[in-house]
Amino acid sequence: MIQESELKTFVEGTTNYFEVAAQQPASIGSPYLVTEGQPSVHEYTGVINITGKREGVVYFTAPKAMLTVLLMKMQESDFSHETMRDLVGEVANTISGNARKDFGRDFVISVPSVLTGEKPEIPAMPGLRSFVIPINWRSHSAKLVVALK
Amino acid sequence: MNFSGADRKRQLVTVGVGTVLMLVMAGVLIAGFRLATQMNANVAALQTASALQTYPNTLVAQLTSLRDRLETRAYSGQALADLRATVEKFDREMKQLGEFSHSPQFEQAQALWQQYSPVLDPVIDFTDQPYVDSDEEGSTLSPEGRTHYADVKRAQLFTQENSEPLQALLAGLSTQLQTEASTGANRLRVLLSAGVLAALVLAAAAAWFQLTRGRSERLAREAQEQTRDILRTVKEGFFLLDADYKIGSVWSDALTRLFGRSDFAGLAFEELLKDLVPPATLATAMKYIKLLWGERAHENLMKSINPLGQLEIHVETASGAREARYLQFDFHRVMGPKGVKHVLVSVGDITSSVLLAKELQESQENANQQVDMMLGVMHIDPVQLMSFLDSTETGLQLVNAILKEPARTDAEFRKKLDGLFRELHSIKGEASALNLMSVAHRTHALEDMVTELKKRPELSGNDFLPLVLKLDDLLAHLRSVRELATRLSNLRESAPTEARGGRSSGKGGTDELSRTLQSLAERLAKDHNKKFRLSVSGLADIPRAYVPTLKDVLIQMLRNSAVHGIEPAEVRRANTKSDVGEVRIEFRKSADGFELMFEDDGAGLLPEQLKAAAVRKQIVTPEEAAAMDTRAAMALIFRPGFSTQEQVSMDAGRGVGMDVVAKSVYAIGGKIGVTTNPGKFTRFKVSLPASEETSTAVA
């Protein structure tokens, strides 16, 4: 069973990014479970695969509007599709870096991949419930999904 | 390996032998030097004595020559000068000889020589003219010459007579000196031989010492190499602590790997642990180390209180990740002649064994849980169990739906708590009624969390993370229970019909309810050490639409009766009541619908007690309580948060229950009332409207 400390590592990795990159902290909303199938995603999703002590996926999915505001806050003027992809990839990278730091060798964490669209091909984890943690930043909301066994 | 004792002894023997031999050598050399000096003097004396032997004859010859010359009136001056020189030389050499020899021969020769002096002195002292020249007589002896001639003549005679004895004495002296020289030479030879022997022994000792030292050094080198190999290869970290709790200059290579540093020499033990353990653990560890230095500390006892027996530390790996490691520190005192000399510390990495033990424990717990779960599930009717699992999963979906409602503010988060609690409480009640304690305990833990969250001044999403994790755990557990139930069901179906008995021939939901209540009553009586009988009637008439609500209502009422109502047997006996209490449930049709009656013959409700509890729980103020009549006091039990039970348990004490019961009854259009007689009974009456599904009620 996934531990609270493990879940917090992923959450902190995400909220830290907002704190550092946008100098504006993100808060987490009410977490819940998705017991059947996969949670719905936003337009941009950064995925990291995890093997080793635990197996599964962790992804950060955010709507375009949120990423746009985030880029503006970061003084970026390029709001292209590629920049959005890079940004969501960077968030996933921060999550993965934080996890590497906390978990050590027990977890083998992949290089993040970025998926776009509302039905991306996220690796299915049959029979596994997903933890969905809403990430609230300003008036926008993204999701951090953790599905590990 | 330990060389120090034998080595030290060998070194001491070698040094002792060497010193003795050196002293012998020095003695030999000094004695030899003295002997050689003496021999040198002897040789000189011998030469002198040998030379002196010729002198008596020389004197005789020279005196004869002088006499002849005087008789022939020849020139005598040269002869006299020769004689004088011989006498002086004889005299001088006798004195020289006297410095070397004091033998009797020499003394005798000396005495004899001294007798020469009165005879020879007038001769050699003569300085006048011996002749007188005249024309008539030619050259004649002068009067002085005549006296001189007489002296020469007398001296000639004396020397002739004493020449031989003096010569013999001098020869004897020479022989004696020769003998002494020979003896000296022999002694010197012996001494030289001893010196050579001592030198040989010394050389041999030096060679032996060199050989043994070389061997010792080789062994010491080998020992050092072996020590180095051990320290390099051993998996444990080893080091010595001195009396200042500092690490010594030697340690095993494993220490570097364990602590990710290499600056151990002279490092304080406190410094080593400072960044790895919490301050409290560090303080305890340092106290422990100080105790080890105490003379009275018993090693085995100390071992049992070692605070560093299993220490979890976090170290940074090469990739920058922090890794948990479990280290085991062992301390052994190294005793010296003056007490504890060092403390040997060994540090082992027991991470894998600790993790293995944890895994083992987890799997053991899992296995135990599986067994408990199986035992818990086996006694439940499969249909009833499946129905419970379905309704529980639905309930948990509702819990999840409440969680899923977006929330950003404290108020939004707080709003979720009541709903979560109601759902969880209901699930716990059903699980408890079915005696499915593994589910009931998990739900109870979730309830605890919700209760805890209610007390927090500010709520955020982070506070709900543990709740979601527990929910996940409960869902996973329910899945396991379902799998097990399915397997058991399959097993039962495959078993012969007669073996299964008639359990499946019940009357659906109401039979199931009756069984659930009976089962709950048995567990409650056992858990709370109470004795009571449950009698039910008319439950078969409950319309299907009312079954879920009335099930929750009756479960709650039954729990209240068991915890608050029915008194312990001894109390009942004291109140002239039967030991075994009675709880009655009756369901019947009424003029305008249905009526459910729940009654126990327990302690009843005391209005004053209810008021006091409500004040304690801050549900009403003391003033409000004082103003309440009996009816209003009785109504307190339906207020949220009310409970007379101080301790929270699985079955009561949270202050929820009757408010939920009342809400559920109101939700289906019913009414609830309570009557009581303190010390006699408590009776709840639930009135329900006629249901559309009345016709579908199981007859």
Alpha helices, H only, B306-436? 351-378, 382-404, 410-433
Q: Which of B312, B330, B349 is the last residue of a domain?
A: B349
Shared domain for B185 and B260, answered yes or no, is no
User: Residue B190 in 3-state DSSP?
Assistant: helix
With contact defined as beta carbons under 8 Å apart, do B403 and B416 qualify?
yes
**Are residue B580 and residue B680 in the same domain, yes or no?**
yes
In a domain, B471, yes or no: yes
How high is the pLDDT of residue B651?
A: 57
CA distance A33 to chain B (A): 7
Q: Nearest 5°: phi and psi at B348?
A: -115, 145
Residue A63: give the domain boundaries: 4-148
Domain ends where: B436, B470, B505?
A: B505
A131 with B471: Cβ contact below 8 A: no
Q: Is the pLDDT of residue B582 over 60?
A: yes
Is residue B248 in some structural domain? yes
Considering the domain architecture, whether residues B91 and B153 belong to the same structural domain is answered as yes
Per-residue model confidence (pLDDT) at position B172 = 86
Residue A29 to residue B408, Cβ atoms within 8 A: yes
Please indicate whether, in this complex, the C-beta atoms of B321 and A105 are within 8 angstroms of each other.
yes
**Residues of B with Cβ-Cβ distance to A104 under 8 angstroms:** 317, 321-324
Tell me if the pTM is above 0.95.
Answer: no
Question: What pLDDT does B499 receive?
Answer: 45
β-partners of residue A143 are A61, A134
What is the spatial distance between Cα B348 and Cα B2, in angstroms, rounded to a whole number?
Answer: 26
* B417 min Cα distance to partner chain A (Å): 12
Domain CATH for A20:
3.40.1550.10
**Do B53 and B33 share a structural domain?**
yes
Interface touch B322/A35, C-beta < 8 Å? no
At CB < 8 Å, which residues of chain B contact A? 317, 319-324, 397, 400, 403-408, 412-413, 416, 460-462, 464-466, 468-469, 471-473, 475-476
Residue B286's Cβ-count burial label (10 Å; 0-12, 13-18, 19+) is middle
The whole-angstrom separation of Cα A98 and Cα A10 is: 7
CATH label of the domain that carries residue B260: 3.30.450.20
Q: What are phi and psi of B362, to 5 degrees?
A: -60, -45
Shortest distance between the Cα of B402 and any Cα of chain A, in A, equals 9
Q: What is the CATH number of the domain that holds B620?
A: 3.30.565.10
Report how far residue B366's alpha carbon sits from residue B45's, in angstroms, rounded to the nearest whole number: 118
CA B64/CA B247 separation, integer angstroms: 107
Two tokens at B458?
A: 């500010």
Do both B521 and B664 map to the same domain?
Answer: yes
Q: Are both B66 and B182 inside the same structural domain? A: yes
CB B129 within 8 A of CB B140: no
Q: How confident is the model at residue B649 (pLDDT cuts 50, 70, 90)?
A: low
% of chain B surpassing 70 pLDDT? 92
Chain position carrying tokens 């126990």: B600
If asked whether residues B563 and B673 sit together in one domain, one would say yes
- Other CB atoms within 10 Å distance of the CB of residue B368: 10
Nearest CB neighbour to A101, from listed B320, B408, B460: B320
- Domain with residue B378: its CATH number is 1.20.120.160
Nearest chain A CA: its distance from B239 CA (Å): 28
In a domain, B339, yes or no: yes
B471 and B520 share one domain: no
* Nearest-angstrom CA–CA distance, A124 and A137: 28
Query: Which of A30, A33, A102 lies nearest to residue B407, judging by beta carbons?
Result: A30
Q: How many CB atoms lie within 10 A of CB B496?
A: 6
- For residue B338, name the pLDDT band (cuts at 50, 70, 90): confident
- Smallest Cβ–Cβ distance between B322 and the set A2, A4, A102 belongs to A102
Number of domains in chain B: 4
Taking alpha carbons only, the member of A25, A10, A22, A29 closest to residue A112 is A10
Print the domain residue range for B261: 237-349
Residues of A in contact with B321 (CB under 8 A): 100-105
Complex ipTM value: 0.94
Is A33 within 8 Å of B460 when comparing Cβ atoms? no
| B496 three-state secondary structure | coil
User: To the nearest whole number, what is the mean pLDDT of chain B?
Assistant: 84
Chain B nearest-CA distance from A17, in A, is: 17
> Residue A94: CB partners within 8 Å, gap ≥ 6?
A13, A14, A16, A17
CA distance B671 to B684: 10
What is the CA angle B15-B18-B19, rounded to 5? Answer: 85
Confidence band, pLDDT 50/70/90 cuts, at residue B600: very high
Predicted pLDDT of residue B694: 47
- Number of domains making up chain A: 1
User: Which chain A residue has its CA at the smallest distance from B412's CA?
Assistant: A30
For residue A128, the distance in angstroms to the closest alpha carbon of chain B comes to 10
> CB-CB: which of B324, B405, B475 is closest to A35?
B475
DSSP collapsed to 3 states, B264-321: CCCCEHHHHHHCCCCHHHHHHHHHHHHHHCCCCCCHHHHHHCCCCCCEEEEEECCCCC
- What pLDDT is stored for residue B319 in this prediction? 55
Residue owning tokens 């292209």: A80
Q: What is the pLDDT of residues B45-88, one digit of tens each?
A: 888 888 888 889 999 999 999 999 998 888 888 999 999 999 99
CATH classification of the domain holding B156: 1.20.1330
Q: At B188, which amino acid appears?
A: L
- SS3 category, B673: strand
Note whether B521 and B660 are same-domain residues: yes
- Which residues are CB-contacts of A48 (< 8 A; sequence separation ≥ 6)? A57, A58, A59, A92, A95, A96, A99, A109, A110, A111, A112, A113
Confidence band (pLDDT; 50, 70, 90) for B321?
A: low
Q: Which residue of A has its CA nearest to B468?
A: A32
Same domain, B646 and B514: yes
Chain A neighbors of B404, CB-CB under 8 A? 30, 32, 132
Distance CA B371, CA B480 (A): 12
Report CB contact under 8 Å: A133, B465. Answer: yes
Residue B486 to residue B574: CA distance in whole angstroms:
50
Write out pLDDT tens, residues B101-145: 778 888 888 898 989 989 999 999 998 888 888 888 888 888 889
